[in-house]
Amino acid sequence: MPEWDPVSCRLHRDLIEVVHEYRVAGWFEQYVGQPDEVVAEVLRAQWWQDDWEEFDVARAGYGNFALADTDRVIGLDPEADTSEGNHVYVEVLQRLAEITADALVITDVSEDWQSESGRVIVSVLANGQPRQLRLHQFDDWIDPKVITLLNGIVAAQARRFYCFDTGGQMYPITFAKPEQAAAMNAFGKVQLLDRAPDEWPGIREA
């Protein structure tokens, strides 16, 4: 891997700027006390060993950079072969719960594709309380309102689920405080939405 040289390399300078903006907004808390340049070098070594020349700070690249903060962000492609027997909602709900630091504990997830035509009824225990998510069957896509319904469940919490609107089909999803989302949005490079982005196809009514 080429030598780390933020003085002469534009990519390195871009990365340091992006790291700084994310950290100001509350991301990468595991590196508290370390300079932005050091954090940027660590992340570059971890995430761009083979394709560093393709790093960019455009809308998609800026939003997808959040995936480097593995403690609090997952990537979700909603075209996920969502169908009976594939247990996609079981997996997705568990993945989303894992980034909440136990603010949301999801157990006993089950999918019912037969009780209601055009629906999948997902039953869960959320923080010990039984809940049902009435979702639409939409080809093999995850119903976009799963994000809205989960935010209804965690309404009493200080944080919510947010999607990075990257303009692509794969969305980084995080669990953040509203002020952290507002700080990220203030930079104007990518938007955090507490719902599914408009590019996520599907049926949005209840």
**Residue-wise DSSP of 26-80:** T--GGGTTS-HHHHHHHHHHHH-TTTGGG---SHHHHHHGGGG-TTTEEEE-SBS
Confidence of residue 1 (pLDDT cuts 50, 70, 90): low
pLDDT at residue 206 above 70? no
Residues 189 and 125 in one domain: yes
Domain assignment of residue 14, given as a range: 10-57
Nearest to 172 by CA among 98, 58, 97, 96: 96
pTM: 0.92
Residues 78 and 153 in one domain: yes
The mean pLDDT of 128-132, rounded to a whole number, is: 95
Residues 165 and 81 in one domain: yes
Residues 33 and 113 in one domain: no
Model pLDDT, residue 2: 63
